[in-house]
Structure 1
Amino acid sequence: MQVAKPVGLNAPAIKYDILSAMTVHALSGDKHRQRSILRIIALITTRYNWRANELSIGREEIARLWSVNERTVKREMSKLRSMGWIAVKRPAARGRVAVYELDLKQVMIDTSEVWPTIGADFVARMSDSPEPGTNVVPFKVKPPAPEESDGDIWTQVQAILHGRDPELWASWFRHLIEAERAGGAVTLVAPSRFEADYIHRNWSERLLAAYSRIAPEIRKVRIESSG
């Protein structure tokens, strides 16, 4: 699935569509979902840089915006990361707050069930081919990879990764092997040290988010090489 970047002439419409999908998705759920999504919308509308896909904000400021304490912020941000909606782009350092990024692709996948509620025109914009002369890329959800066994956690995780981005899955995740799962951690083995280091650096949070959907007890993903 490709997601149009909210920049250029079509930026306002794309932003409204993303926020509309998030809002209606929140309203279709219970109070806990509504509160979580309202909180992330507050961060988007007050501090998010759409062009750079960066949310640069400290825990203290988030607590003030949400009218909560920092412990609640820590718990809520962890929840949003496990959903795959938000990831740490650059961790906090001395004198510098953390920078987060939003995974708009995951947001649109998770909200796709409410698109018909918004309207047929919304579904058409999200699903149809782009019109000639435009640079709008549709939010088209591709089917997940076939599952070999409903009871096999790693197979289900692979299906989630494939469904989100088949090309990325084929390039980096397809040849991973689950070596161990215990004590809230899972160890995956890549064919080479280069692949292990690259996946750990760039995709470990995506792997953890996929695991969290199937096995919430998993809180850490380790990537090792077969060598």
Structure 2
Amino acid sequence: MLATRAVGRNAAAMKYDILSALGAHALSGDKHRQRMVLRVMILVTTRYNWQSGELSIGRAEIARLWSVDERTVKRELAKLRAAGWLRIKRAPAKGRVTVYEIDFDQVLSDTRAVWDRLGPDFADRLGAAPAPEPEADPTVVPFQRPAPAAEPGDDTWTRVLRMLAERDAATARVWYAQLTEVEVSDGVAELVAPSRFVADYVRTHLTAQLLAGFRRVDPAIRAVKIGCSA
């Protein structure tokens, strides 16, 4: 992934590319995802400082831009931080609003699935084509990391979560740790998320990793279902 600091000679093109990726990503999702992405786009187009890479804005102003109350703003900003799209760079102080950073590398990573819909030139420009993998050496036997051994009291999900955390601690902390196992039955592992936002994100971006983790622990599992408790 390229470093998305839209300054310099190609700044204008990069800005349009980011907004195009966001728009296409929104249209591929449900109404909740569309609304969230539209709110991000409004912040970017009206208040984001591309030169400094900062978004300096208070909740009251965001509420006016989004036509919502400040409680909704607080809730939506928390979702954006959990998704990795938004970070607090400088906390608010007396007479000074919060300064945020938008992680456009994360934004583009999460919108990658729709790049091809914007044209091959778009995908090529943003580096969608993966680097070719080296040919496998037939004399080398690939090493398979064993599934974590069960400890007393462990259920299937506990073992899967521990293995996923070993591979990607950040994703496990932000996303997997929010999931709760409902049951494993007839080859299907059912998990529940605390909100529709989390459930939608996990279904879209992390189902394959979850299924691979479950199958390492229990090869009989052939599918993962993500529900929502809210």
Q: Given the two structures, how large is their TM-score scaled by the length of structure 2?
A: 0.62
Change (3 A) 1:4 1:75: closer
Moved >6 Å (runs of 4+): 139-143
Alignment partners' CA distance in 1, 2:40 and 2:131: 23
Matched letter for residue 21 of structure 2: A
Matched letter for residue 118 of structure 2: I
Alignment partners' CA distance in 1, 2:94 and 2:80: 24
Give the drift of 1:3: 1.6
Larger Rg: 2
- 2:45 paired residue number: 45
Give the drift of 1:152: 3.1
Alignment partners' CA distance in 2, 1:140 and 1:100: 31
The answer as to whether partners of 1:147 and 1:159 remain within 8 angstroms in 2 is no
Change (3 A) 1:26 1:141: farther
- 1:181 paired residue number: none
Choose the corresponding residue for 2:161, options 133, 153, 156. Answer: 153
The answer as to whether partners of 1:2 and 1:140 remain within 8 angstroms in 2 is no
The answer as to whether partners of 1:147 and 1:156 remain within 8 angstroms in 2 is no
* Aligned residues with identical type, % of pairs: 51
Change (3 A) 1:32 1:69: same
The answer as to whether partners of 2:6 and 2:14 remain within 8 angstroms in 1 is yes
Counterpart of 2:100 in 1: which secondary structure? strand
Change (3 A) 1:217 1:59: farther
- Unaligned 5+ runs, structure 1: 129-138, 162-206, 219-227
- 1:164 paired residue number: none
The answer as to whether partners of 1:56 and 1:98 remain within 8 angstroms in 2 is yes
- Unaligned 5+ runs, structure 2: 134-143, 148-156, 181-230
Alignment partners' CA distance in 2, 1:49 and 1:140: 31
Structure with greater contact order relative to length (CA < 8 Å, sep ≥ 6): 1
1:31 is aligned to 2:31 = yes
- 2:68 paired residue number: 68
The answer as to whether partners of 1:86 and 1:101 remain within 8 angstroms in 2 is yes
Give the drift of 1:22: 0.8
Change (3 A) 1:112 1:98: same
Give the drift of 1:210: 5.5
Partner deviation per Cα, 1:96-146 (whole Å, 9 max, x = no partner): 100000111111110000001111111111127xxxxxxxxxx97999xx9
Alignment partners' CA distance in 1, 2:146 and 2:23: 35
Counterpart of 1:35 in 2: which secondary structure? helix
Counterpart of 1:52 in 2: which secondary structure? coil
- 2:125 paired residue number: 125
Matched letter for residue 216 of structure 1: Q
Give the drift of 1:147: 8.1
- 1:173 paired residue number: none
- 2:201 paired residue number: none
The alignment yields a C-alpha RMSD, in angstroms, of 2.9
Matched letter for residue 215 of structure 1: A
Alignment partners' CA distance in 1, 2:131 and 2:34: 24
Change (3 A) 1:113 1:47: same
Matched letter for residue 31 of structure 2: K
Matched letter for residue 108 of structure 2: M
Matched letter for residue 174 of structure 2: S
